[in-house]
Structure 1
Amino acid sequence: MRDEETARRLLEGVVSDELLAVYTKLLTEDGCPHDEAPSMLGSPDAVEALTSRGMAHVRPGGPAVPPRLVPAPPDLALQGVLADLGRRLMAEQERLLAGHRRLSEVNSVSAAATGDGPLEQLVEIVTDRAEISRLSYSLINAARHDWLTLDNYVLETPVEETTGFAPLPVFEGEVRCRAIYETRCAEHPIGVKTIEAAVKAGEQARLLPRIGMKMKLADEAVALLPLTPTGMSGALLVRSPVIVGALREYFEMLWERAVPFGSPDGNAPSSPLTSTQATVLRLLAQGLPDEVIARRMDLSVNTVRRHITAIREALGVDTRFAAGAAAVRRGWIE
């Protein structure tokens, strides 16, 4: 009974209900003669489903003992299921990339036929790992004004002390480098060293609890996006001004929400605002216009607006709405 409960806890939602029921039945019976398994489990397909996923195996028999189909322990069954899922996902990923390549080829032909020019100059799918790595390290040289990155720390191999990272080039103050990292990047001892080194080299770094994908963006000219979680087996090189411009806006929205790296506890830096500015901020967060805030605080409208400008600069945001949201996230107001 304990094995059945463990099996349900580990496998429910990971495999289909039908497969879980078949595995649980075999587990309850502690296996069965191999030639009786199709009848006991309902079909030969059920036996194939269990054995192909490593949830059961055939134990060889002897002169007097027929072969038996025996269940794997629940934890090993889960490992087998996950390995099988991994293989299936990799196959699906390869098909996805092949489909993207073919779609790109079709679009290129269509564009040439209509006189719009080859789309491969605007969007390019890259699947060669060496080329993706080269682009990842060299794309930064295309930046002339801004170098923007998103990093969610999804990697193919564990990070070790010997893991190499692309150094941040010296731009002599001509290029503004900004990066947003998923919070867990700063929680890893090597990850935090990497961020600290980048900040020391001149990067402005901020943190968010979750980032959906990696991204590298040079000005509004070119971007590198992942087609897979790590981006190392499939990436999209984008030169389309429309798409890159939209990605730039997406980055700026995340930047307004993010918390500066190095803040106390990484989440709620102490407010640098004066008591007057703190009051202005609370009223601002309530959505009150400048004139109403001025009347409530017995200040001139120009003075209120100066305080709002100082508040936005302290928070590193460009709009009133973003100021209120950023202040709440940082714990400056409740």
Structure 2
Amino acid sequence: MTFDPSPWPGDREVALYQWVAGNERLDPDRAARELGLARDEVDAALTALTQRGLLKADADDPTRLRPVDPDLVAAVVTTSLEETIRAQQSELHRIRDQFASLRGHYRDSLSRVSVGLEVIPGLEEVRAALNRASAECTEEMLTSQPGGNRVPAALQEALARDTALLSRGVRMRTLYHHTARFNGPSQAYVAMVSGLGAEYRTAHELFGRLIVFDRRVAFIPDKGDNWGAVVIREPSVVHYLCEVFEQSWTHAEPFADAVTDGLEAVAKDIDRTIVRLLAAGMKDETIARRLGMSLRTARKHIADIMETLGAESRFQAGFLSARQGLLGDEPPDTASPG
């Protein structure tokens, strides 16, 4: 007997099985009346139950039906399904073992590459590589996550990985942009994982996206738009990237939401950085990327700053900001403007 994946038994079959179990004989007309079914519905349910082996005619009296233990019938019905599952599991293990047998050759090929670089082209492959590196991490993970808004789905995906790391005693440090202080999901995530021992700081400007495991393997973004990554294992390059992270970490501030620090103070701090970048002649797109905010938000900040300063051009905005001490490098110039 093979397994039929269609939903069964249905309500009519269950009702008729119960009715037969409580009566010594099957009287189709009486069963139809008492169950509130049409005669053809009773006949169809009877056929289904007998074909399944749940009802069986008495050997001495064919007009009598007796119910059969459903557990025994289920064991027979599902045998083929269980055999199929076992065969598929065996095939799954065989395929994994075959691919695993290639891993040693792949690692050998990496060891022969002098620069120790590996390009991973797609997002799913990058996720798999990150999960594997995370599972093998034993001491420390460093992360730089530019951008102020992290979607809840991405944070949920990272939660299991980060929790597993922290439970093994791995030290985890993460850099965010200051704009993350305004993002509710990021605030909630940091509060949750900080309680497990993770450390978070924020900075106005970050050097880019970076993940380093045990100071041995680093992930940086691929230059394309395919969400790929470049994996770096060359010790000198990994050490250099760790030093870049440490410099940013030293000058960053402990993560706190914008309300805690004061919305006005945080906003002024962001505007001061935008003014400095304007004075350096940077474009809107570059400023938005450096501060981890959308282009639209960056342009609104720029427009508000120019209006406040009364500047008609970026150059004039930078000049006026410098004279008024808004760049933060020198005290305000109290001399009258020339």
TM-score after normalising by structure 1: 0.40
Q: Which has the larger radius of gyration?
A: 2
TM-score after normalising by structure 2: 0.40
**Higher relative contact order (CA closer than 8 Å, sequence separation 6+):** 2
